Amino acid sequence: MNMQAQNDMHSVDEEWLASYAAGSLSRAKRLLISCQASMKPELASRLSAMDAVGGAILESAQGEAVSDGFMEKLLSNIDHLPTRANDEIELLEDQPGESETWSPAPLKEFLARNNIGLNWKKLGFGVSRATIANDNGEELYLLKAKPGLKIPDHTHQGEEWALVLQGGYHVGETAYGPGDLHREDENCTHMPVVDNDGEDCITLVALEGELKFTNPIMRMLKPVLGI
């Protein structure tokens, strides 16, 4: 294993990256990987290597014959492209995003494209949440936590992916900082502690299933807090 790279950057296993390259990841997980790649050149290069492999296989794989008339339709299509310049649409990508400097470009694009505004709701205990999407039970949201906060012990029904966009936190001895992607499954119980360095910790979270708190009081408060 390339332990050096693993120490330098927390990410998901190669298997998940291969699923990203193959187009098999959910929308929420795909966004987290795109965001992390924009923050970590190391990950971008791993994904480029996968696209190179995918491309090389595409060059030589066995094809499925296209129907008669496919080529004529193609040439007719390119003769009748809309006059509107594609560049006009692309300008959207370059427009200055929200003032949030912590937001990576793929997230800004995602929000703009889907016309989603961030509506932060205070959950109490110094935690705020902005919901982004819910696709077939997989929630995508931003979580903002005050420095020094201890998130109560919890586990998950499904998987939780969290990408740190600003600030950082520790789980035991392990530190997660900007650009680190932290994956937990239902087998892990953890209690993240937000770094007390004066900066809010902002994470982009993709969560399947619900959080399950080990503390009975937190279990009671969960519906009230909306987490």
Partner 1 sequence: MRDQMRLEMVNEGRFDRPGVSATIKAMPGRKNVDAALIARIVQSSDRLALRDIASHYAPRLKSWLMYRGAQSSTAEDVVQDVIILVWTKAHQFDPAKGAFSSWLFRMVRNCWIDHKRKHDRLQPTEPDIVATMADAPVDGADAAMDQSEAAQAVQAELAKLPLDQKQMLHLAFFEGLSHSEIAERTGLALGTVKGRIRAPLKKLKSRLQNFRGVDQ
- The binding site for partner 1 (CB under 8 A) comprises 2, 14-15, 18-19, 21-24, 27, 30, 33-34, 37-38, 41, 43-67, 70-71, 73-75, 77-78, 81, 86, 89-90, 92-93, 105-106, 109-110, 113-115, 133, 135-136
Q: Smaller CB distance to partner 1: residue 109 or 184? A: 109
Please provide the size of the chain in residues. 227
Determine how β-strand 138-145 pairs with β-strand 201-208: antiparallel
The CA distance from 37 to 106, in Å, is 9
CB of 114 to partner 1, least distance (A): 5
The CA distance from 213 to 160, in Å, is 14
CB of 152 to partner 1, least distance (A): 32
Give the number of other Cβ atoms within 10 Å of residue 102's Cβ.
17
Q: Smaller CB distance to partner 1: residue 133 or 191? A: 133
CB of 176 to partner 1, least distance (A): 21
Residue type, 119: N
DSSP run (H or E) holding 162: strand 160-166
CB of 91 to partner 1, least distance (A): 10
Q: Smaller CB distance to partner 1: residue 50 or 221? A: 50
Q: Smaller CB distance to partner 1: residue 62 or 119? A: 62
Closest listed residue to residue 12, CA positions, set 27, 26, 32, 28? 32
Q: Smaller CB distance to partner 1: residue 46 or 144? A: 46
DSSP run (H or E) holding 130: strand 127-135
CB of 26 to partner 1, least distance (A): 10
* Residues in Cβ contact with 137 at an 8 Å cutoff, skipping those fewer than 6 apart: 208, 209
